[in-house]
Amino acid sequence: MLSFIKKKRYFKMNFSSIIIFLIFAIYGSLCTNLLNENETTPCQEEFDNDSVLQVEGNQGTNCEEQKFRESLLEPPIIENITEYIRSLSENSPEVSNVYLSSPMDNYMIADKDGNYGSGYRCIQMLLSSALLNEDYKNHLVNMWKNLHSTTISRSKMPNVLFLENHLEECWNKDIQKWRKRELYSKSKYPTRLGITICDIDSILLLLRIKLGYTIFDRKNNQNHIQDMFKWLHDYFRNEHNKKYVSPVMLQYQNYIVMVVGVEIRKNTQIVPLIVCPSQDYTEITTEHGINALNIIRSSELTLNHSSFTVITINGIITTDAEYDAMKCSKFRNQNVL
C-alpha cells in the first residue's frame, strides 16, 4: 500500500513537472519567435498595429527587454564607404576632380526586407552620415533615446522594422497623420507598401531634423537632367566650406538611392557617384575595388526619367514653435527647377 501511495505521489509530481516544463517551453518559444521579424506573435501584432513605444513599454512582462531592443539594431555593411570611393577615384587616370559628401556608411537590402526596404536602407545611410558629425550625433542620440529608450550609434543603427515602427510613431504624434489612414485602407501592414518622400520627411521630422528638397522635372525644364548634374556638382564642391555636407537622397519613379558625390572627368563630364541599397559593394574593400566603383559610376540616371527629387539634411530644429509649424506644413524648403 505504501509503495502504491509513493508511486501515486511520484506520478503527481511527474505530471506537475511536465506541466511546468511545457509552460516554460511555450513562453520561451514565444520570446524566440518575437526576435524573428518575419513571424507574427502577440508582441509583433502590437508592433504592426500600434507604436513602437507602446510595445517597448510591455517588454518587462512579455519578453526579455534588452534582447528585444538589441535585436532591432544592426551594424553597417561597409563603414565609411565614401573613403574607399575617394581613394579609388583620386587614383583613376580619367578623373580630374572628385567632390564627395561627408562620410557615410553603407547599408544594403536584406532578403527579409521584401520589396519595400530600399527607402529605409537609404534612411539608415543618411542617419549614419549625420552620426559621423559631432553636432548631429549628439542631437540624434539624445532624440532616439528620448523617443525609444535605447541608444543608437554607427554600429547599432535602427533596422528596417524599428524604422517602420518609428514611422508609425510619427503618425501617432500627428505628423502627416493622413498617411496612416490612407495606407491602412490599403494594407494591414502599411509601412511595407514602400515609403515615399512624405514618409521620409516624417521620420526625420520626429527626430527634429530639417530636410530640403529640390525637384527637377521635365515639365518645367527640358534640360532637367543636365541641370540636376550641375546642381550636384555645385552642391558637393562646397565652395562655402560648410562643416557638414549631407549625402543626397535621390528619388525617381518609385525608387530611392544615395548620391555621395560627383567625379569630374578630364573631358569635363560630370559623373554622379550613386550608392544603391540593392547593390553589393563589399568588393570595394578589396584589391578589386575598382569593379565596385565602376558600378557606383554606372548610374541609372543616364535613363530618361521625367522627374527627380533630391533630398538633403539642412539642419536641426531647435524650438518647439518651429517643430509645431513644420508638422502642419508639407514638403518644407522645396524648390522646383
Tens-digit pLDDT profile for residues 172-203 = 998 988 888 887 777 777 777 778 888 999 99
Q: For residue 102, what is the DSSP state?
A: S
Average model confidence (pLDDT) across the chain: 82
**248 and 173 co-located in one domain:** yes
261-274: per-residue pLDDT in tens? 999 999 999 999 99
DSSP 3-state of 56: helix
**203 and 131 co-located in one domain:** yes
Calpha distance 89→92 (Å, rounded): 5
CATH of the domain at 197: 3.90.70.130
- Domain end, chosen from 26, 48, 71, is at 71
**38 and 140 co-located in one domain:** no
Q: Which residues contact 195 (CB under 8 A, 6 or more apart)?
A: 116, 119, 120, 167, 203
pLDDT given for residue 304 in this prediction: 76
- Domain end, chosen from 20, 47, 71, is at 71
What percent of the chain is modeled with pLDDT above 90?
A: 58
Give me the number of domains the chain comprises.
Answer: 2
| Mean pLDDT of all residues in 102-121 | 88
**83 and 22 co-located in one domain:** no
Residue 17's pLDDT band, with cuts at 50, 70 and 90, is: low
Pairing of strands 157-158, 73-74: antiparallel
| Mean pLDDT of all residues in 78-97 | 97
Residue 2's pLDDT band, with cuts at 50, 70 and 90, is: very low
**50 and 183 co-located in one domain:** no
**89 and 237 co-located in one domain:** yes
**156 and 290 co-located in one domain:** yes
For residue 17, the enclosing domain spans 2-71
Res. 308: pLDDT tops 90: yes
**105 and 212 co-located in one domain:** yes
151-170: per-residue pLDDT in tens? 899 999 999 999 998 999 99
**32 and 91 co-located in one domain:** no
pTM of the model: 0.79
**6 and 103 co-located in one domain:** no
| Mean pLDDT of all residues in 80-88 | 97
- Domain end, chosen from 71, 92, 112, is at 71
**67 and 80 co-located in one domain:** no
**286 and 273 co-located in one domain:** yes
Say if residues 94 and 72 touch (Cβ distance below 8 Å).
no
Calpha distance 188→39 (Å, rounded): 14
Q: For residue 284, what is the DSSP state?
A: G
Pairing of strands 95-100, 255-265: antiparallel
